Amino acid sequence: MTDCILIGAPVDCGKKRRGCLMGPDAYRTAGLAEALASLGHGVTDIGNVAPDKVEVAPPRNGVVHELALNVGWTAALMRAARAQAPNGFPIFMGGDHALSLGSVAGMAAHAEEIGRPLFVLWLDAHSDFHTPDTTTTGNLHGTPLGYVTGREGFDAFPELPATVPVSQVGMIGLRSVDPEERAALEDGEATLVDMRMIDEIGIAKPLSEFLAKVEAANGMLHVSLDVDFLDPAAAPAVGTTVPGGATVREAHLAMEMLSDSGLVASLDLVELNPSLDERGRTAALMVELTASLMGRRVFDRPTPRGH
């Protein structure tokens, strides 16, 4: 069994719509720790991380939102990831996707320290491959993969101890990619799986192929699960809804395949906005998906009340 380390990351500065700061407590209320413990895992909740206080020069791109606060969160979460990764399986409870600027950078540093390549699986409607210079919205939750892969324009951010080559990134569930991001990604070797591909051939084949790459390289895998990977009909509690997302069953299949692989070393749960939820059902679904990733199977599921 695994020692799971819950890390609260109430980041709410990666975009302008507020609410993700309530995410960590929503996961706690939805029983994330209890679900993991019921599977036999050890669980430690270290509480919520706080951002470093930093001063930065004004951004070159005037639309960038809350640059200093995003930099402060990145530094703090990178440090938390590096500190906790040797102790078990970090689960970063967000918080918007800007938290991954720090979580992935910290996990990449840890992977380099132990001599293994870090691969990143991005389960998201968006590619989040912008930089502070290319973003047109100013929302830095759209930049984590740009940062950790070493794109230019992140001068204000902490220097990366290790970068993640684009060839070690897999993006599944894509259905909203800006033209600038598309052009940059087409130059690289990332695994790109949009919803059309999933409609045509299913989610299992491309995910299996990506996992085979990770295994062949003796890699470790960081999974970043955005609520908007899911169709908004199943998961409404997100400010960046894009119709046509993954079904609940597709998402559970992906989590079960990830569990079977034995390759996953850390997890982000991002973009949950409890103020947009319906009686906590999105938080509950994200907890269920995490349980599938950590080993729960269909026949292990608790029977719903009344059955």
Q: Residue 128 annotated as binding?
A: yes
Residue of 65, 97, 130, 252 marked catalytic = 97
- Let me know if 110 is a catalytic residue: no
**What's at 78, amino acid-wise?**
M
Helix axes 204-216, 248-261, angle to 10 degrees: 20
Residue of 96, 128, 181, 288 marked catalytic = 128
Residue of 52, 181, 231, 271 marked catalytic = 271
Report how far apart the first and last C-alpha atoms of the chain are (Å, whole number): 30
User: Can you tell me whether residue 101 is helix, strand or coil?
Assistant: helix
- Let me know if 226 is a catalytic residue: yes
- Let me know if 41 is a catalytic residue: no
Residue given tokens 């491959």 in the structure block: 129
Q: Residue 124 annotated as binding?
A: yes
Q: 156 to each of 77, 219, 242, how far by Cα in Å?
A: 16, 29, 31
Residue of 41, 65, 110, 141 marked catalytic = 141
Q: What stretch of H or E contains 209?
A: helix 204-216
**What's at 174, amino acid-wise?**
L
- Let me know if 231 is a catalytic residue: no
Q: Residue 277 annotated as binding?
A: no
Distance of alpha carbon 188 from alpha carbon 209, whole angstroms: 17
Residue of 126, 130, 222, 252 marked catalytic = 126
Residue of 228, 256, 268, 277 marked catalytic = 228
- Let me know if 178 is a catalytic residue: no
Q: What stretch of H or E contains 46?
A: strand 42-48
- Token output for 75: 């530094």
CB atoms within 10 A of CB 33: 18
85 close to 3: Cβ distance less than 8 angstroms: no
Residue given tokens 């259905």 in the structure block: 175
Q: 45 to each of 18, 83, 243, how far by Cα in Å?
A: 24, 14, 34
- Let me know if 141 is a catalytic residue: yes
Nearest of 126, 131, 124 to residue 63 by alpha carbon: 131
Q: Residue 3 annotated as binding?
A: no
Catalytic positions: 97, 124, 126, 128, 141, 226, 228, 271
Annotated binding site: 97, 124, 126, 128, 226, 228
Annotated binding site for Mn(2+): 97, 124, 126, 128, 226, 228
